[in-house]
Structure 1
Amino acid sequence: MKTYFKYISLFIFVALIGCDNEIPEINQLPVLQPESEDADAGNWQTVLDVDYFSAITIKNPNEFTDQELNDENDEIINLTQNRTSSQEEKAKFWSAGGVLRWNQIARDLVIKYNVAPNVGATPDPTHPFANPPFAARAYALLSVAQHDALIAAWHYKYEFMRDAPGNRIEGLNSLFSASDLPSYPSEQAVIAEVSFEILSHLFPKEKEYLEEKMNEHIKSTIWAGKAGNLDNLAGKEIAGVVSDAVKEYAANDRMNQSADPNDEHLTYFNIPSRIETPWECLQLPLRKPMLPFYGLVKTWYDSTRIFQDAPEPPPAIDSEEFQQDLKNVRKISDNRTREQWRISDFWADGGGTYTPPGHWNQIAEGLIVDVKWSEVRTARAYSIMNRAIMDAGIVCWWSKFFYYLPRPSQLEPEIKTATGIPNFPSYTSGHSSFSSSAGTVLGYLFPAKKQELEKMYIEAGISRVYGGIHYNIDNIAGRKSGESVGRLAIEWAQSDNSN
């Protein structure tokens, strides 16, 4: 586990006291110098089955007028020769990689909005509750948009082969060494614009902040001498087309039907109970359960195959197997060791955090930094993993509200929990489902770390048993389901033309 702590300690997040606080700044990372530019990435498979190229209308750079070229050259020479210390600092910040930086911003937004609304409050679509299912979807939508937009950008880069400014403009005071990656369209403008569009769609109240970050990111490419205005305008055009497609997908993925539609009574579900002692809300005042219909949201990977491997029914509550499991939770509760406390706390990822899906996004970041992947390959990794995390959460929530298994402390009130009790049924474990899907995908992408990652997702799952809020049957079933989704994601990755 020591290597993992290297990853988790890369960044220090400033605590957020209230929802009106600013998003925290994040520590610096090394300048991204990819070991490969992935020149063939324009032929990789996109996630959405959309003909992006029929809608993208960027110009061939050979058609630019002399005036356009001269204006672009004058601007970039002037800004690089008169770069301020503040501009240089911001250029270095974004030079660590736009995909990484915008995923950090996404995690910070989740931290800020992961606060449960007051009981009985009228839902505010402009101020979402960034709970784990919401967060999983947010990370997935962002990474899919980045992935598909960058594939389109790479297609045009290697069609037009426009040299980077440092290789074609005299008098340029570049901040970094010139890259062999063609500059048109600008991949950084693509990332900035598409990330702004998706995150401001998910977090409408943050639009001004996100627009500021987008503009800073795009301008940083000129301050550093990495791209010109014409490169950036083309990148924004691509991002607009892709972000519109991703937002259209999001509008039809059934997420808007995942909450309890009954606004008048505290009825928890409209399906007859399948269990003699069904789950009950243990929070006071009583609160509706978290997104009971999330299990019906559209999956990214093959839904038929996902649900063919859906968790089987848990043991009957009066069975010896179940009673032994319950006794084990009580035993841990009565004799919880310091190490069990530590593990429970470390993986808790409750309110006011980036959630379990965000925890695995940060783990992925550490791995990606080490291998120095290109922007497009980084986006691919996040896209494959985050879609798996979301799908694992969907089948987990289906199981929760199909089997309706009560939490251990509902059946045994003497159980002392080490963390808050989530407001939804017990079987299967969300932590185990999210973590095993992510760890399985990352084990494929980073085979040298596969065993370590497996230990990590096993520990993440058992942490909830140590915390007294799950039975081990929840943990094991969630792990199996998450691993199954992870394997489906790997199948997709093996056929996306990237290898």
Structure 2
Amino acid sequence: MERLTNHFFRLCSIVAIVIVCGCSAGKKKIFAPQEVATGWADLSIYITKNTPSNSPTYASRCFGYIGLTMYESVVNGYPSYHSMAGQLNGLEALPIPETGLEYDWLIALNAGQASIIKRIYNQTSDENKSKVDSLEALFFEQISDQVDSEVADRSVMYGKSVADAIFEWSTTDGGHRGYLKNFDKNLKLPTGEGRWEPPLYAQSISHYPLHPHWGDNRTFVAKNSLIPTPELIPHDTTPGSPYYTQFIEVYEKDKALTQEEKEAALWWGDDPADTFTPPGHSYYIATAVIKAKNPELIKCAETYAKMGIAVADAFIECWKWKYEHVSERPSSFLNHHVEPGWVSFWPDPPFPAFPSGHATNAGTAATILIYQFGERFSFTDSSHVGRKRDEVRNVDFKPRRFDSFWEVAEETANSRFYGGIHSHYDNEVGLTEGARIAENVNALIWKNE
């Protein structure tokens, strides 16, 4: 595990100060409701990064259930907001508060987050589970200080009952404990011209494709499962054809990469072996926005629920389309038709190309944040600052400045082109379809207008 000063923990987050470093005896910090929400988000991101056998697919699913639990643990305290029970795919009902009894919704949120994180990341270390317990105890001690003990106990039980119900629903989605079946060694994919093949220069030691059945999982939003499969450019190896040209563009860019483009390629790589994964990066950005905007608690929870649900559905749909097309990476085409032995700047991930998963996730995340906070938002992404310099590629991890959410999405998508693992078309379709997935999430009835 990297030191506290690295990555997103360079920020003085609650989790970094209290859970990782500890705090001085006798000093009691008073946490605002928003800090409780972002504190749990920080810890969710940390556990995602520091749990073995993780993947972008599985991590996206975890954020879906973690974010939804945060929202559902508090939504009944806000009369103008609506539960997702009866709106999400197969989620018919959730526990509801007893009429006439008092609840403390922040205590319920605290208990619900602790419960869902430990259950959804059951495979994480005992050390990480202890961090969850410590954060829950820290927040509870402060919040319950001014709350009647019966109300506090009732609120804890309610938050945990919501988490338990959501977890039980999660076990039926097709992705339960998906980290135990990352690769299907018995799968026979179609082969031949234009088809994906295991790369020699790979991001993973496995030459089997990652989660080939992930697209069969239940989406959170039923409408997302009905989105038509996007069309692939027809296969044609004739020089000058659209299919040929998309890969020549990758080839030419690889020979002319600027230092800034190399930095972008590595920044957005978000390799699950070293980072919090692409969906974790989206959750991180949502957290940065919430810390800057400081909205009321329900909007914090709504944002995390929307982000989690949307990126989870984005990976289900993207993976469904990937394994319907089983399309080749630029490395395969260029090695067979342009330059034998060609190697991409960034190693190939272990799954088919079209459409780009990074772009799909990025288009989804940006669309959620634009809906929640507006298009324009200036911020610096420091999530990877402190990572060890990549000596092989001559790249340092420097902060990246953005002035809009869609600018983040476009750079994320372009980074895969700079890395030599996706064509522009892969990215363009990913951004478009990702936005469509998010729009279906935004269209749910979240609150009275």
TM range (shorter): 0.7 to 0.9
Aligned partner of 1:255 among 175, 200, 209: 175
CA-CA distance at 1:491 after TM superposition: 1.1
1:244 equivalent in alignment to 2:194:
no
Deviation at 1:418, TM superposition (A): 3.0
Farther-moved stretch of structure 1 (462-471 vs 409-418) = 409-418
Aligned to 2:37: 99
Structure with higher Rg: it is 1
Contact 1:136-1:357 within 8 A present in 2 as well = yes
Alignment partners' CA distance in 1, 2:159 and 2:58: 23
Which sits farther off after the overlay, 381-390 or 450-459?
A: 450-459
What TM-score comes out, normalization by structure 2 length?
0.77
Shift of 1:461: 0.6
Tell me: CA distance 1:95–1:260, structure 2 relative to 1, closer, same or farther (3 Å).
closer
Contact kept in structure 2, 1:428 and 1:475, CA below 8 Å = yes
2:153 is aligned, of 228, 233, 255, to 233
Q: Work out which of the residue numbers 181, 192, 213 in structure 2 matches 1:293.
A: 213
Residue 284 of structure 2, aligned match among 362, 367, 383: 362
User: Partner of 1:27 in structure 2?
Assistant: 12
5 Å-filtered alignment, 1:370-389, equals 370-389=292-311
> Matches of residues 72-151 of structure 1 in structure 2 within 5 Å?
86=25, 88-89=27-28, 91-92=29-30, 96-113=34-51, 115=52, 129-151=53-75
**Normalising by structure 1, what TM-score?**
0.70
Q: Which residue in 1 is equivalent to 2:424?
A: 472
Number of residues paired by the alignment? Answer: 383
Q: What residue in structure 1 maps to residue 315 of structure 2?
A: 393
- Does residue 435 of the first structure (1) align with residue 362 of the second (2)? yes
Assess if the C-alpha contact under 8 Å between 1:221 and 1:227 holds in 2.
yes
Q: 1:13 to 1:454 in 2, by over 3 A?
A: farther
**CA distance in structure 2 between the aligned counterparts of 1:276 and 1:416, rounded to whole angstroms:** 19
Instruction: Describe the superposition over 1:344-385 as per-residue Cα deviations: whole angstroms up to 9, x where unpaired.
Output: 122111132111111111211222223321222211111112
Is 2:196 the partner of 1:279? Answer: yes
The CA RMSD over aligned residues, in Å, is 3.0
Structure 1 residues 382, 317: closer, same or farther in 2, change over 3 A? farther
Q: Distance in 1 between matches of 2:222 and 2:75?
A: 22
Q: Give the residue type in structure 1 aligned to 2:198.
A: C
- Per the TM alignment, residue 199 of structure 1 is displaced from its structure 2 partner at its CA by 0.9
Describe the shift of the 1:203–1:260 C-alpha distance in structure 2 as closer, same or farther (beyond 3 A): closer
Moved more, 407-416 or 104-113: 407-416
Aligned residue for 2:376, secondary structure, equals helix
Contact between 1:192 and 1:214, CA under 8 Å: does it hold in 2?
Answer: yes
1:447 matched to which residue of 2?
Answer: 374
Contact 2:67 2:308 in 1 (8 A): yes
The residue identity in structure 2 corresponding to 1:496 is: W
Cα distance in structure 2, aligned partners of 1:226 and 1:374: 20
Alpha-carbon contact 1:326-1:471 (below 8 Å) kept: yes
Q: Superposed, which structure 2 residues align to 1:137-286 within 5 Å?
A: 137-154=61-78, 184-204=102-122, 205=125, 206-222=128-144, 225-256=145-176, 266-267=185-186, 269-270=187-188, 272-273=190-191, 276-282=193-199, 283=202, 286=206
Runs of at least 5 residues in structure 1 that lack an aligned partner in the other structure: 1-11, 17-22, 30-83, 116-128, 162-183
Q: Deviations over 1:153-191 (max 9, x none)?
A: 456999769xxxxxxxxxxxxxxxxxxxxxx42223212
- Between stretches 309-318 and 192-201, larger displacement belongs to 309-318
**2:90 corresponding residue in structure 1:** none
Q: Distance in 1 between the 2:302 and 2:130 partners? A: 28
Q: Distance in 1 between matches of 2:146 and 2:135?
A: 18
Change (3 A) 1:259 1:406: farther
| Distance in 2 separating the partners of 1:448 and 1:478 | 19
Q: Distance in 2 between matches of 1:257 and 1:403?
A: 26
Aligned equivalents of 2:330, 2:448: Cα separation in 1: 45
User: Which amino acid in 1 is paired with 2:249?
Assistant: N
- Give the CA deviation at 1:208: 3.2
- Hey, which of these two has a bigger chunk of helix by percent? 1
Using CA pairs below 8 Å that are at least 6 residues apart, which structure has the higher relative contact order?
2
Structure 2 gaps, min length 5: 15-22, 80-95, 336-340, 378-402
Q: Distance in 2 between matches of 1:250 and 1:358?
A: 19
Query: Alpha carbons of 1:157 and 1:407: their partners in 2 closer, same or farther (altered >3 Å)?
Result: same
**What's the offset of the Cα at 1:403?**
0.8
* Alpha-carbon contact 1:87-1:220 (below 8 Å) kept: no
Q: Percent identity?
A: 20
Post-superposition CA distance 1:72-101 (Å, at most 9, x none):
xxxxxxxxxxxx963544x33576522211
